[in-house]
Amino acid sequence: MGLADDGGLLVPEFIPDVSAELDAWQGYSYSQLALEVMSRFIDDIPRPALQQIIDRSYGTFSVPAVTPIVPLGQDYVLELFHGPTLAFKDIALQFLGNVFEYILDERGHSVNILGATSGDTGSAAIAGVRGKSNINIYIMFPEGKTSPLQELQMTSILDDNVHNIGIHGSFDDCQALMKGIFSDLDFKTEHNLAAVNSVNWTRVLAQVVYYFSAWYQLGCPARFDVCVPTGNFGNIFAGYIAREMGLPIRHLILATNANDILCRFFNTGRYERREVNFTHSPAMDIQISSNFERYLFYKLGGDTEQVKEFMASFAATGSAELSEKTQPIDAVIKAGSASNAVTLATIEQVYRTEGYLLDPHTAVGLSVMQVFREDGVPLVLLATAHPAKFEDVIREALPEVHAVHPTLEALRELPTRKTILDLAEDSIKAFIVRGV
């Protein structure tokens, strides 16, 4: 299940404290670590079966460490792009695809997955479920607003169970369509809808693991900071959960592009929607962040009525504010934003000085985290995608550099398939009915 039946988001009944077990997990492989972290939240899949699902999910990655950490100047980069589609979304969606398959086989059911993407979620979700029995997947994306290679990663998959839908609008429009359709409980039930976006709790849970992996790879420091480029708040919310579980994260540094609704909230307490800016970091071109609602639940002490009031105000007026503001809003989360010009300058500077090529989203993160760096505290930047996925941006920053990856180059001559539909729930519903 993605959205709950009342339209809200699901959270775990409690967050387990694993601080007493951290020493015992040293030396574990990524899959072993994933089993320990995930099993604290999973009681309906037997441990041996869960281990098999995890092993199968991360056996598709190109490096044994799955999420290796590499030094970059005085800081560190956690590379999250070694999966099948070269983006951090693979870490959650390879796992989620195998979980769906396991549960559907066990229950004899089928599902129609409906998702929205600003770039990487779509291709990673498709890679996670393509060709799987009892699963159809429908991915909506803003037509012309993803990078050409991101679109190719989706539309070149011609499996019968894969359906790509271009929508004239923004990612927020696609996400609103998805939420509207899931809110139609009769349609959701009749057509067995399921979600792969980060509204699905399993997505967040799988991402919690690599925060633990980063800490162990750093050598288990007493504390460390993590900078997270984010648009939908899922990636950084996973770090928030890891910290609540006992991982010694001191600060989570939230980095956004010109779509800075999250940055403004954490600096002012006001959550206010503005027009979507289309930038060099398209996966972050978001003005309504799904997982923010989960954070708000914990920020407000689990008071669901306050959460409802806040989200209702935002839905009605495009703005909502905490009634009791403190400065800072959250002592754990620091926030900043970066423009296109700063993003390009960061890509160029890091390549010239360090010989390391950043994708534009990771460059947003690096430019923001430099403001919050403190001596003596290890600082880790999450690298969310391989730079070759954004060849046009790389070429603008570094005209002499041609960012390539063989997986992506192989896509260029492949046939593609997509359907362009109106920005209307009825159009999407009718397409799903025909596809069934």
Residues acting as catalytic residues:
89
Find out whether 240 and 207 touch, Cβ atoms under 8 Å. Answer: no
What phi-psi label fits residue 143: left (phi over 0), alpha (psi between -120 and 50 degrees) or beta?
beta
Q: How far apart (Å, rounded) are the C-alpha atoms in residues 24 and 275?
A: 48
Residue 280: both structure tokens together: 């060099």
| DSSP 3-state of 175 | helix
Q: How far apart (Å, rounded) are the C-alpha atoms in residues 319 and 311?
A: 9
DSSP result, 34-80: HHHHHHTT--SS-HHHHHHHHHHHHTTSSSTTSS-EEEETTEEEEE-
Query: Residue 41's closest CA among 21, 2, 11?
Result: 11
Q: List all residues 6 or more positions away from 14 whose beta carbon is below 8 Å from its beta carbon.
A: none
- In terms of C-beta density within 10 A (0-12 exposed, 13-18 middle, 19 or more buried), how is residue 301 classed? exposed
Q: List all residues 6 or more positions away from 293 whose beta carbon is below 8 Å from its beta carbon.
A: 8, 9, 307, 311
